[in-house]
Amino acid sequence: MLAAILALAALAAFFGVLLGYSAIRFRVEGDPIADQIDSLLPQTQCGQCGHPGCRPYAEALAKGEEEINKCLPGGEALVLALADLLGREPVAMDIKEKVPSVAFIDPELCIGCTRCIQACPVDAIIGAAKQLHAVLNSECTGCELCVEPCPVACIEMRPIREDIQRWRWPYPARQPVASDIAAPLRDAA
């Protein structure tokens, strides 16, 4: 009896050491899962997921420490993609998706303090000290990080106007009634 317990304990200890050693010895540089997750995230860098940017959220997800529905800009499509990648169950978004917007700096009010430039994670604001600042619409990700730091509150988020290039056909409203499985041959005649 005692021998058996000792033998098992010894085995457990041996494998524990072996596993621990190989974890250190064969450690993969970087984290491929985190990279894959990061490539799915919208890179808005807005921090709305509760992390200081997309990469940290990706790392938290890779470690399994986070829910997959925290990224607002990514929306439902991202939840589905993450569920697919991580083999998790899709979860509903906790908050409503927001309309895509870009920042707008009121040229009348801007005092050129450069604080928004420092806040912008993607360098979408151009301007120098004491000069009027402006937002590069094509680069702005709509993260809203520049809104808060402005001392004269001259930055607002404006929804991107829908245009023909960005327009998409809607998902058909006329959904088939009844289940598609085991359908009755009602109309086939």
Partner 1 sequence: MAIALKPKSTSQRRLWRFHGGIHIPDEKALSNERAIERPPLAERLWVPLQQHIGAPGRPLVAVGDHVLKGQMIAEPTGFISAPVHAPTSGRVVAIEPHPVPHPSGLSAPCALIEPDGLETWAELPPPLADYPQLDPALIRERIRWAGVVGMGGASFPTSVKLTPGTDREIQTLIINGAECEPYITCDDRLMRERAAHILEGVRIMHHLLRVRTVLIGIEDNKPEAIAAMQLALAETDMGGYTEIVPIPTLYPSGGEKQLIRILTGKEVPTSGIPAQIGIVCQNVGTAAAVADAVLEGKPLIARVVTVTGRAIAAPRNLEVPVGTPIEHLIAQCGGYREAPRKLVCGGPMMGFELRESATPITKATNCVLALAPEEAPDPGPALACIRCGRCAEVCPTRLLPQQMYWNARAKDLDRVQDYNLFDCIECGCCAQVCPSHIPLVQYYRYAKTEIWAREQEKRKSEQARARHAAKQARLERQEQEKQARLRKQKEALAAPKSTDSGEDPKQALIAAARERAAARRTSDTGSA
Told to check if 62 binds ligand SF4 by CB under 6 A, we report no
By CB under 6 A, which span of 13-21, 69-77, 85-93, 106-114 interacts with ligand SF4?
69-77
- Contact between residue 41 and residue 137 where contact means Cβ atoms under 8 Å apart: no
Min. distance of Cβ 21 from partner 1 in angstroms? 34
By CB under 6 A, which span of 4-12, 27-35, 116-124, 165-173 interacts with ligand SF4?
116-124
| CB neighbourhood size of 3 (10 A) | 7
Among 60, 79, 82, 103, binds ligand SF4 (CB under 6 A): 103
Which amino acid is residue 46, in one-letter code?
Answer: C
| CB neighbourhood size of 24 (10 A) | 8
In the stretch 88-127, what mask flags binding to partner 1 with x, by CB under 8 A? --------------------------------xxxxx---
Q: Which residue has the tokens 């993609």?
A: 81
**154 labeled binding residue:** no
Length of the chain: 189
DSSP codes joined into one string, 5-66:
HHHHHHHHHHHHHHHHHHHHHTPPSS-HHHHHHHHHS------TTSSSSHHHHHHHHHTT-S
26 binds, among ligand SF4, partner 1, none (CB under 5 to 8 A by kind): none
Residues that bind partner 1 in the complex, under the rule CB under 8 A: 38, 41-45, 53-54, 77, 80, 120-124, 139, 141, 162-164, 166-172, 174-181, 183-188
